[in-house]
Homo-oligomer: A and B are copies of this chain.
Amino acid sequence: MDYPLVIGELLKTGLRANPYQRISDAGGAELTYAQFGARVHRLGSALARLGLGEGAVVAVMDYDSHRYLECFFAIPMLGATLHTVNVRLSPEQVLYTITHAQDDAILVHEDFLPLLLPLLPRITRPVHLILLSDKPATPPQGFAGAYEALLAAGDPAFVFPTFPETTRATLFYTTGTTGDPKGVTYSHRQLVLHTLGVIACFAPIPGRGGIKADDVYMPLTPLFHVHGWGFPLIATMLGMRQVYPGRYEPQKLLHLIATHGVTFSHCVPAVLGMVLGAAGSEAVNLAGWKVIIGGSALPEGLARAALMRGIDIHAGYGMSETCPVLTIADMAATQGTEDTTFIRIATGKPIPLVDLRVVDPDMNDLPHDGIATGEVVARAPWLTDGYSHNPIGTADLWRGGWLHTGDVGNISPDGTLRITDRLKDVIKSGGEWISSLELESLISAVAGVAEVAVVGVPDPVWGERPVVLVVAQHDVGKAVQAAVQSAIAAGRLSKWAAPDRVLRVAAIPKTSVGKIDKKAIRARLAQA
């Protein structure tokens, strides 16, 4: 008998593992898994009544909520595509993604009505609108209804359809630094295998690390960002206690961590920095909180600050096109090591079933000597097939039969990958490749540096030269140069890496997902 790998099976597993387990929401909801499962079925029936089934595209604009988690299951389980809208994009970009995705329905939190309503006249396709709210709410005119009212009228015993595992389950848009957002899609099979692959890597970590069934999970990556990195599906399948934080506000996050005893989260460096730096943070005991850092490199300074608070922090690596997880820091190697910081911030080892190579521009493998640096390319059962309606972008992504990450790095003899930079952010100076990321990591540990960005600026003699931007309370220029010189003396950096300038700025430009926007920085420096 054929048994397709579909998301509905992940839900089934979680429901029977732990029917009495709880899912909490900062908006006030407290659900058992049994109640959650009934709500998923009610949602499925409500959407089916609107005619949304196989092939339909259903968009969600929400904070991280239990309702979003319900959508993670009910929409793909209908055979429809879940479009997770990046609500941090500009209104024009949001309109572009809704139009490009050909959304048939949009579930929108009331806070995002000011963003969506002005766009509606320009959405030419008929679209069902459903209002999400923690309070009883009257939907605006033209809406199909309020989410909770539709669920109340729904059928908790609704039977979802069956379909092949290659059916498209999710769609979201990735914003490069150039051009229109690109649509990235995943099938049921890919999401199920990602779930199993990530568990097979995290769960066997000995001791209290990794993922265990008694962890208390709270996402700190928006669910619209690459399926919340896949962890909401993992937590649900394992029947874990879950906490959904709604809108990210540092005080609230600290309160939720303390109240619910959160033990497992994941986020970009900036969010953890926000939590650690929030007023009253020191009063909350964060010891034993496991935090996976991704989205950009884990700076040494942040890692040390987190470890001081007892946080079990380490890096993971992946991208929008890879579902996302490709590697995690080699936590097994930390056993018996005194200072584990450098193991924790390294890109680490591929998780099960991920094949990684570091190649030169002709796709030849570079030696695994920890030095030879080239582009990282990947294969795995959960990498996107390509960009939606974008054959040129897809062909470029998959040239040579391997997914091109656009990251450069090296592999050590024991198989550990170290990402040194983005291909486009490498500073090419006099024939040398200088890693902007390595400079940033080093400078982040200099006392007084709150944030740092390093970019290459055009230079008539050397091609490019590094320039440093720092956010700091006082002048740190000399300390930064001293730290770089010391790393050069120790052989950790090439002598060409010494920055030409260290500029103190009020803020570092960021992209909508909180990453340093180097394109914007280069543009500003070029203007200046």
CB distance from A11 to the nearest CB of B (A): 11
B205 and A381 form a contact (CB under 8 A): no
With known contacts A200-B237, A204-B199, A414–B383 Cβ distance under 8 A: no
* A513 lies within 8 A of chain B by Cβ: no
B3 and A204 form a contact (CB under 8 A): no
CB distance from A69 to the nearest CB of B (A): 18
B415 and A16 form a contact (CB under 8 A): yes
* A196 lies within 8 A of chain B by Cβ: yes
B13 and A352 form a contact (CB under 8 A): yes
Q: Smallest CB-CB separation from A403: which chain B residue?
A: B1
B196 and A383 form a contact (CB under 8 A): no
A237 in complex: contacting residue of B352, B355, B401, CB < 8 Å: B352
In the complex, A145 Cα to B325 Cα: how many Å?
Answer: 45
A9 and B353 form a contact (CB under 8 A): yes
A193-218: contact bitstring with B at CB < 8 Å (1 yes, 0 no)?
10011011001111000011110000
In the complex, A213 Cα to B200 Cα: how many Å?
Answer: 10
A81-115: contact bitstring with B at CB < 8 Å (1 yes, 0 no)?
00000000000000000000000000000000000
On chain B, the residues within 8 Å of A12 by CB distance are 355
* A17 lies within 8 A of chain B by Cβ: yes
B415 and A19 form a contact (CB under 8 A): yes
CB distance from A97 to the nearest CB of B (A): 25
In the complex, A84 Cα to B190 Cα: how many Å?
Answer: 32
B332 and A214 form a contact (CB under 8 A): yes
A401-429: contact bitstring with B at CB < 8 Å (1 yes, 0 no)?
11100000000001100000000000000
On chain B, the residues within 8 Å of A381 by CB distance are 3, 5
A379 in complex: contacting residue of B1, B20, B213, B380, CB < 8 Å: B1
On chain B, the residues within 8 Å of A16 by CB distance are 349-350, 415
Give this chain's copy count.
Answer: 2
With known contacts A19-B414, A353-B13, A204–B203 Cβ distance under 8 A: yes
A200 in complex: contacting residue of B19, B200, B206, B385, CB < 8 Å: B200
* A238 lies within 8 A of chain B by Cβ: yes
With known contacts A200-B199, A353-B9, A353-B13, A3–B205 Cβ distance under 8 A: no
* A398 lies within 8 A of chain B by Cβ: yes
Task: Give the interface SS of chain A, mostly helix, strand, loop or mixed.
Answer: loop
Q: Smallest CB-CB separation from A368: which chain B residue?
A: B16
In the complex, A164 Cα to B206 Cα: how many Å?
Answer: 34
A339-381: contact bitstring with B at CB < 8 Å (1 yes, 0 no)?
0000000000110110100000000000000000000000111
CB distance from A158 to the nearest CB of B (A): 17
Q: Smallest CB-CB separation from A416: which chain B residue?
A: B16
Chain B CB within 10 A, most for which of A16, A193, A205: A16
Q: Smallest CB-CB separation from A379: which chain B residue?
A: B3
In the complex, A248 Cα to B414 Cα: how many Å?
Answer: 35
A1 in complex: contacting residue of B193, B211, B383, CB < 8 Å: B383
On chain B, the residues within 8 Å of A10 by CB distance are 352
On chain B, the residues within 8 Å of A415 by CB distance are 16-17, 19
A1-33: contact bitstring with B at CB < 8 Å (1 yes, 0 no)?
101010001101100111110000000000000
A1 and B398 form a contact (CB under 8 A): yes
In the complex, A76 Cα to B214 Cα: how many Å?
Answer: 37
Q: Smallest CB-CB separation from A15: which chain B residue?
A: B415
Chain B CB within 10 A, most for which of A20, A193, A203, A403: A203
CB distance from A198 to the nearest CB of B (A): 10
Chain B CB within 10 A, most for which of A3, A18, A193, A206: A3
Q: Smallest CB-CB separation from A9: which chain B residue?
A: B353
A204 and B213 form a contact (CB under 8 A): yes
Q: Smallest CB-CB separation from A351: which chain B residue?
A: B13
Q: Smallest CB-CB separation from A401: which chain B residue?
A: B1
Q: Smallest CB-CB separation from A380: which chain B residue?
A: B3
CB distance from A216 to the nearest CB of B (A): 12
In the complex, A211 Cα to B211 Cα: how many Å?
Answer: 13
Q: Smallest CB-CB separation from A213: which chain B residue?
A: B204
Interface set of A (CB-CB < 8 Å, partner B): 1, 3, 5, 9-10, 12-13, 16-20, 193, 196-197, 199-200, 203-206, 211-214, 237-238, 332, 335, 349-350, 352-353, 355, 379-381, 383, 385, 398, 401-403, 414-415
The 8 A-B residue pairs with the shortest CB-CB distance in the complex, in nearest-first order? A203-B203, A196-B196, A16-B415, A204-B213, A203-B204, A3-B381, A13-B352, A206-B212
Could you jot down 14 A-B contacts, CB within 8 Å?
A1-B379, A1-B385, A1-B402, A3-B353, A3-B381, A199-B204, A200-B203, A204-B213, A205-B212, A206-B212, A206-B213, A206-B214, A213-B332, A214-B335
